[in-house]
């Protein structure tokens, strides 16, 4: 009499799907995750997070295969079952971006940054979407955005512990400049508001030409939120104004660790290198800037100037 084969459990099917995904066999992984979803639904398992993770895994396979609309659907299912799951948000953002639905992608990237401000792929995505939306809708693009959901503090604290290195989708873009993600939780709402208020006070002082006082305000702001790119680039501008060129370079370095293609950071660091007579470093920064924004006339003009001095 032939022996009956025991059907695989959902956990075994999930594991097999993960193995196929790692080997780049995305179609097979999708099929295995689908079987795992059916088995889990039949099993009477009461933990919605388990099902949410399976939908998120299948979404990753769809994304790798270019089935972006299917990826979005699975991410939506996953997020209903497992609200604010970082992997699902990042995968949906990437799918929206591929579908040129830039507003929705921007919102997902910004939501991820509420959970863990150290996720470099979310910073990079936010900056790409900012550029795309500015080109599409002009300076008032933010007015056309749907509301960004507020991640409750309790959820942020729970998810920040899990967000570390596993937060990025498999084989996502490598971290810029070798910066590693950390498990440091995102600033609280109170800290973010305080940081923003101090930054705005610094901006007001810059307009009055009071650069040293502005530096103090930006420094206080960074104590409350050390991951705000514009605070570093604004303080770098002030350091340039008071001829503290090495401090300007340090601030630009920090900004570029968060956003490796930040135009202001590259330009201001180039200015500082120019003042310190480091022509090579200046030219490198300008060339990198012009790769991101080829028609930047200020960078083109400075590049011509410094090359004449060689």
Domain ranges of the chain: 10-156, 189-309
Residue-wise pLDDT tens digits, 144-201: 888 888 888 877 777 656 544 343 433 333 333 333 344 455 667 788 889 899 999 9
Residues present in the chain in total: 310
* Fold matches, 10-156 and 189-309: yes
Residue-wise pLDDT tens digits, 14-34: 999 999 998 989 999 999 999
Residue-wise pLDDT tens digits, 264-278: 999 999 999 999 999
Q: How far apart are CA 150 and CA 189, in angstroms?
A: 10
Residue-wise pLDDT tens digits, 190-199: 888 898 999 9
What is the CB neighbour count within 10 angstroms for residue 214?
A: 25
Domain 10-156 = CATH 1.25.40.10: yes
What number is the average pLDDT over the span 296-303? Answer: 90
Class of domain 189-309: mainly alpha
The mean pLDDT value of the chain amounts to 85
pTM exceeding 0.85: no
Structural contact between residues 27 and 33, judged by C-beta atoms closer than 8 angstroms: no
Q: How far apart are CA 60 and CA 62, in angstroms?
A: 5
């Amino acid at each position: 009499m032939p022996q009956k084969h025991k059907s695989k459990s959902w956990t075994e099917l999930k594991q097999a799907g993960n193995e196929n995904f790692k080997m780049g066999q995305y179609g097979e992984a999708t099929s295995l995750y689908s079987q795992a979803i059916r088995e889990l639904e039949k099993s009477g398992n009461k933990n919605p997070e388990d099902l949410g993770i399976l939908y998120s895994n299948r979404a990753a396979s769809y994304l790798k295969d270019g089935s972006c609309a299917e990826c979005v659907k699975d991410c939506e299912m996953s997020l209903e079952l497992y609200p604010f799951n970082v992997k699902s948000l990042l995968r949906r953002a990437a799918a929206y971006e591929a579908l040129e639905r830039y507003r929705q992608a921007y919102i997902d990237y910004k939501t991820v940054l509420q959970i863990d401000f150290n996720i470099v792929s979310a910073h990079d995505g936010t900056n790409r979407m900012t550029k795309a939306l500015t080109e599409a809708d002009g300076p008032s693009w933010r007015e056309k955005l749907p509301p960004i959901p507020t991640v409750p503090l309790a959820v942020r604290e729970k998810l920040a512990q899990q967000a570390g290195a596993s937060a990025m989708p498999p084989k996502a873009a490598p971290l810029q400049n070798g910066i590693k993600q950390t498990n440091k939780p995102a600033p609280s709402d109170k800290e973010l508001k305080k940081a923003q208020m101090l930054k705005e006070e610094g901006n007001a002082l810059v307009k009055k030409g009071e650069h040293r006082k502005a530096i103090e305000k930006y420094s206080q702001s960074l104590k409350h939120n050390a991951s705000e790119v514009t605070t570093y680039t604004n303080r770098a501008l002030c350091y340039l104004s008071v001829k503290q060129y090495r401090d300007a370079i340090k601030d630009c370095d920090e900004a570029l660790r968060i956003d490796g293609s930040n135009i202001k950071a590259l330009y201001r660091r180039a200015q500082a290198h120019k003042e310190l007579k480091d022509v090579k470093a200046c030219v490198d920064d300008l060339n990198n800037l012009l790769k991101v924004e080829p028609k930047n006339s200020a960078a083109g003009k400075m590049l011509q100037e410094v090359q004449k001095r060689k």
